[in-house]
Structure 1
Amino acid sequence: MSVETLTPSKEKPVLAGQRPAARRTVAQFIVEQLRLWSVERIYGVIGDANFRLLDELGKQQSIRYIPCRHEGGAALMASAESKLSGRLAVCLATSGPGMANLLNGLADAAADRTPVLAITGQVETSKLGTRAKQYIDQQKLIAAIAGRSELVAHPDALPELLERAMVQAVTMGQVAHLSIPTDLYTAPVRGEPKPYSPHLHQPPLASAADIAKLAELIAAADRPALYVGRGIAGCRDEVRRLAETIGAPVITTLPARSLFPNDHELYAGGLGQAGSEAASTLLGECDLIVQLGATWWPEEYVPEGKRIAQVDRNPAAIGIGRQLALGLTGDLAGMMPQLAGDGRLAKRDRSAWKRRAIEAAAAWKRVIESEARQGGSPIAPQSIMHIAARHAADDAVIAVDTGDHTLWFDRIFQAKPSQRILVSGRWRTLGFALPAAVAAKLSQPKRQAIAIAGDGGVVQTIAEFQTAAEQKLPLVLIVLNNGSYAMEKHRMEAGGIETVGSAIAAPDFAKLAEAFGGVGLRAGTPEELEQCMQRASSENRPVLIDAAAEPAVVPHTQP
């Protein structure tokens, strides 16, 4: 048998060297790639390093550019939109200080694991690494925040770099960042934009055997308690059925407060200083904590030595800092029907534990109802939260800033099932609420948007009230005006520390709102706040309500 030998050909291999012709510039490619991923808005501040990209945005209608007053506000808007939608959101800034100003809002997105893409202009390629104006190594600057940050050094690298950045942001809940030298925006790109692929959002599935192990663990418990977070958004009915089947009290994180009926007899409130005493009491008495889609774990408010079962989509979030009886990775919406329907769960008599949970929850609700009925002037923060809850639409988006009012909100506010609560969860930046409400109203315009902020935090991003007015967004901003950074002041007082820096000489917020093109109102009593909220509902412009708030100390405040 003869063996044939292959003679090397002088011809190029099939398809070798054949690349698609350049049909788009860098700027055009970015816009088209974002459009194919259903990006509807880009939040940003103008700068000369992005002129060409802004030019392309101005030539099309698919993606709306939202001109903000500060890059930090733009990034917070992107973060909030992503938290609300679960999809990729985008912000834009120029080089140097524009890029630096984005960092606070991007850190909020990174800390709460929500996908945001930041695009920043950079100096010309010939000036990279020099002392050119506004040059800084952007990859070093953002290294602690972004999961991926790349400098586009050649136009033909853009298709891969942009796709990898977007995929990593979406699949890992991270901030991704691209720096674009200004001279590359008009350069031709070889390659084609790719549409969003459904495989990117396929949820991780736990096996039936693993779910059965969790059911067995719950079935063996005499006094189980459910601690739930945002991860139950797609299976709230099954979580309620599970709680009712096993007679378990339900405790929520702040962002998940609306995901379990607040008027349910088994709802025991939130966890932590902002939560309820009933939650900590019942956790102390339970013999199993079932943690579903929640990562917040305030050690000083949870008992030690408890058996814990935790379920989360993200394996890296499971069991941090504590020993688990069972950890399970998977999408709760996919596993809860099997878990809630397991026949073993109802076989144990837990009637005494259920009565205990109902009694503790009812006693807690009587306490907060009493607090919420306070009158007088200045207005008790509990009354402000109660009034805000009464006037919030059934499907309202409520954006809450960082401060003492955050704790009062979680203590008092009774959320409705279709409402959404947006917070700066782990980053806890001042100034979150107003940009978040702007993003909420832009992305879901038919829903009421309410921002609740303190007089110390709101000034951080108050200029975005002008953005709201310019965009004709009828949102409501409630400012609790107590003349101080109350959380810091009260903690300093509790520790016997001089309260230097805690006092605030606030501006006239109502006049400021009018100057920005909105409506400014003042409330000094609960009755006046009721009237302001009623008027706000009929306005077609943003409304700021300056509420004179009593500087009450949140229970359990420690230095």
Structure 2
Amino acid sequence: MARTVAHVIVDALKELGVRHVFGVVGDALNPLTDAIRTTEDLEWIGCRHEEAAAFAASAQSQLSDTLGVCAGTVGPGSVHLLNGLYDAAKSRTPVLAICGQVPLAEIGSDYFQEVDNDLLFRDVAVYRATVSSPDQMPRMLESAVRAAVTQGGVAVLTVPGDLGDQELGEDRPTRFALAAPRTRPEDPALLEAAGLLNSASRVTLLVGRGARGARTEVLRAAELLAAPMVLTLKAKEGFEGDNPFQVGQTGLIGNPAAAHALDSGDALLMLGTDFPYRDWYPTGCKVVQVDARAEHLGRRVPVDVGLAGDVGATLRALLPLLEEAPDRTHLDGARERFAHWEEGQQRLADPGHEHRRSGRLRAALDNRDHEIRPEALAAAVDRYADEDAVFTSDTGMATVWLSRFVSMRGSRRLVGSYNLGSMANAMPQALGAQLWAPDRQVVAFCGDGGLGMLLGDLMTIRTYGLPVKLVVFDNRRLGMVKLEQEQAGLPEFGTRLDNPDFAAVATALGLTGIRVTDPAELHDGVRRAFETPGPVLLDVLTNPEEVAVPGKPTVAQGWGYAIAKVKEILPGRED
């Protein structure tokens, strides 16, 4: 019996191991959703906004290293997918978006809701095409999936509304052939890199997510080179726990030890990272970079030796060429600085710190109302969360506090919009993560601004009974924007949020809502949130004046902050 276009798609998704398709139903998608309805082991997840659907699919893809799938119907339904798809594209994770279109005969006539999807998705997708005949299937689907998986990106397949239920003239099984090669550089390049690293006296490693599959080899390289290891945010997962070489992150969310480890080295070995912030790279040192994508080599910092290849395969060939460093001063000094910084951070996270002399002095400057410190909230979450918890975080200050106070020990996982930097990603990504791992604890670090953007998909969490724990850093501000304004010498403007009681909103929507306003009740509130079955929203009112000091604070930033504070107390301050 001949299959329809919709059934070809659905059967192929099941064959690929896809378990969920996220989207909002609509007329052009009816053949697809009906095919999903009658297919075992493939579930349609009806979201309240297509952007949330795309974020959820992106999170599942990043966590599983397999294809994520979302869908949007004609026109606005497809347009709404864009932000979540850009997150997938910037994260270089494979996502297939199935988009509806007006009837085939009406394409190009400015029909109701018609949007040129092939043009709309040109920038975000590695593959985009509109099915114009049933006979193009399954070849067109194979091309879309193959492009998404092998290139690590988004593929958009547009299906006109009158085509999904048409039968194929000649049906055949799908053939994807998705095996990816593991390449390494030629021996002369490896010898050159080894010579540079062996001749250096102070080597520092900068390790990114691209090295995640080569943990053993990366740790061995750090051991041989006696090199402190600076981690990008996406490398926390996989490299932070049980690692005697790591010194945390660099950049605005980083710490002085990591910044010093980079600046004091005479050689930098970059492994699987495209860390974008040029100002945080060291100057005057030799650089070796290993990356699977040759186009990444040297695009952030000048590179002396560029090695295009898989990090694991490259290191396995490079390690026998490396000599053991005779001096561990550089590593030991960096680790001592890092330990000292961590001790200071833990003091800030202690709710009792406000009652000590240094804490009282600090509170007089930035927390006169003695509100809950966001550091204390993040540290409490770290304490009570499971050792295999999956974390997501909204872009902004929520990510800063997660970066500094949550350890990716055990088998913990981490997902966020760390390349696109979108707001509103944490909650929908947690939705996708919980469906991917129904038996694991999923914890979302939500900014109040981000949560408010896609608040409607709390109802999706309720509908599917997903036991996610949403931790809201409720400072009534767009906190990162506030800090950026003040560091530039500008008074805070436009960042204040007139928030509802998010816990009450969650309760009204059928979730458990817990609201904490007193620092003395913080640990009890976090503990209750994690012990309560089912979905929980923990709304914690945190100090809006909290400042996250970067790893290398500049005089200009400090002066700008002082000027901004003066302007804020003069007439004209936003009330």
Settle same-fold status: TM greater than 0.5. Answer: yes
Alignment of structure 1 residues 124-135 onto 2, 5 Å = 124-135=103-114
Residues 251-300 of structure 1 deviation map (CA, whole Å, 9 limit, x = unaligned): 11111113223564432110101011111111110011111111113112
Q: Distance in 2 between matches of 1:141 and 1:499?
A: 36
Residues 164-183 of structure 1 deviation map (CA, whole Å, 9 limit, x = unaligned): 11101111111110111110
Where 2:156 maps in the other structure, the secondary structure is strand
The one-letter amino acid of 1:362's match is A
For the pair 1:315 / 2:294, whether they are aligned, the reply is yes
Length, aligned pairs only: 535
Question: Counterpart in 2 of 1:396?
Answer: 389
| Aligned mate of 2:513, from 486, 508, 520 | 520
The one-letter amino acid of 1:514's match is T
Q: Report how far residue 337 of structure 1 moved.
A: 3.6
The one-letter amino acid of 2:86's match is A
CA contact (8 A) 1:313 1:332 kept: yes
Question: Counterpart in 2 of 1:10?
Answer: none
Gaps of 5+ in 2: 355-369, 561-575
Where 2:137 maps in the other structure, the secondary structure is helix
Where 2:453 maps in the other structure, the secondary structure is coil
- Call closer, same or farther: CA 1:296–1:193 in 2, change over 3 Å: farther
| Aligned mate of 2:342, from 365, 369, 377 | 365
Question: Counterpart in 2 of 1:432?
Answer: 425
Q: Distance in 2 between matches of 1:530 and 1:423?
A: 25
The one-letter amino acid of 2:270's match is Q
Percent identity, please.
Answer: 35
Q: Distance in 2 between matches of 1:422 and 1:173?
A: 16
Question: Counterpart in 1 of 2:547?
Answer: 553
Deviates most, 317-326 or 545-554:
317-326
For the pair 1:192 / 2:172, whether they are aligned, the reply is yes
Q: Distance in 2 between matches of 1:421 and 1:120?
A: 29
| Aligned mate of 2:492, from 491, 499, 510 | 499
Residues 350-400 of structure 1 deviation map (CA, whole Å, 9 limit, x = unaligned): 222232222222222222222222446421111111111112211111101
CA contact (8 A) 2:434 2:468 kept: yes
Where 1:235 maps in the other structure, the secondary structure is helix
Q: Distance in 2 between matches of 1:111 and 1:140?
A: 19
Question: Counterpart in 1 of 2:209?
Answer: 230
CA contact (8 A) 1:256 1:421 kept: no
Q: Distance in 1 between matches of 2:220 and 2:515?
A: 44
Q: Distance in 2 between matches of 1:40 and 1:446?
A: 15
Residues 515-540 of structure 1 deviation map (CA, whole Å, 9 limit, x = unaligned): 22211001224442322222223333
For the pair 1:379 / 2:379, whether they are aligned, the reply is no
Alignment of structure 1 residues 27-66 onto 2, 5 Å = 27-66=6-45
Question: Counterpart in 1 of 2:405?
Answer: 412
CA contact (8 A) 1:71 1:101 kept: yes
Question: Counterpart in 1 of 2:74?
Answer: 95
Alignment of structure 1 residues 467-546 onto 2, 5 Å = 467-546=460-539
| Aligned mate of 1:345, from 323, 327, 347 | 323
For the pair 1:110 / 2:103, whether they are aligned, the reply is no
CA contact (8 A) 2:514 2:529 kept: no
Deviates most, 492-501 or 67-76:
492-501
Residues 440-480 of structure 1 deviation map (CA, whole Å, 9 limit, x = unaligned): 11111222110001111111122222211211111111000
Q: Distance in 2 between matches of 1:134 and 1:533?
A: 46
Question: Counterpart in 1 of 2:142?
Answer: 163
| Aligned mate of 1:267, from 246, 250, 254 | 246
Deviates most, 322-331 or 520-529:
520-529
Q: Distance in 2 between matches of 1:355 and 1:110?
A: 39
Question: Counterpart in 2 of 1:459?
Answer: 452
Question: Counterpart in 1 of 2:267?
Answer: 288
CA contact (8 A) 1:72 1:103 kept: yes
| Aligned mate of 1:71, from 27, 50, 56 | 50
Deviates most, 360-369 or 475-484:
360-369
Where 1:364 maps in the other structure, the secondary structure is helix
Q: Report how far residue 215 of structure 1 moved.
A: 3.0
CA contact (8 A) 1:236 1:259 kept: yes
Larger radius of gyration: 1
Q: Distance in 2 between matches of 1:370 and 1:448?
A: 27
| Aligned mate of 1:182, from 155, 161, 180 | 161
For the pair 1:147 / 2:126, whether they are aligned, the reply is yes
Alignment of structure 1 residues 15-30 onto 2, 5 Å = 23-30=2-9
Where 1:357 maps in the other structure, the secondary structure is helix
| Aligned mate of 2:181, from 202, 213, 217 | 202
CA contact (8 A) 2:4 2:167 kept: yes
Q: Distance in 2 between matches of 1:368 and 1:202?
A: 43
| Structure 1 vs Structure 2 CA RMSD | 1.9
TM-score (norm 2): 0.89
Q: Report how far residue 310 of structure 1 moved.
A: 0.9
Q: Distance in 2 between matches of 1:288 and 1:113?
A: 28
CA contact (8 A) 1:384 1:526 kept: no
Q: Distance in 1 between matches of 2:207 and 2:518?
A: 36
Deviates most, 546-555 or 408-417:
408-417
CA contact (8 A) 1:91 1:119 kept: yes
Residues 198-237 of structure 1 deviation map (CA, whole Å, 9 limit, x = unaligned): 52x3323344554444333322221001111112221212
CA contact (8 A) 1:472 1:542 kept: yes
Q: Distance in 2 between matches of 1:214 and 1:63?
A: 48
Question: Counterpart in 1 of 2:364?
Answer: none
- Call closer, same or farther: CA 1:414–1:525 in 2, change over 3 Å: farther
For the pair 1:333 / 2:322, whether they are aligned, the reply is no
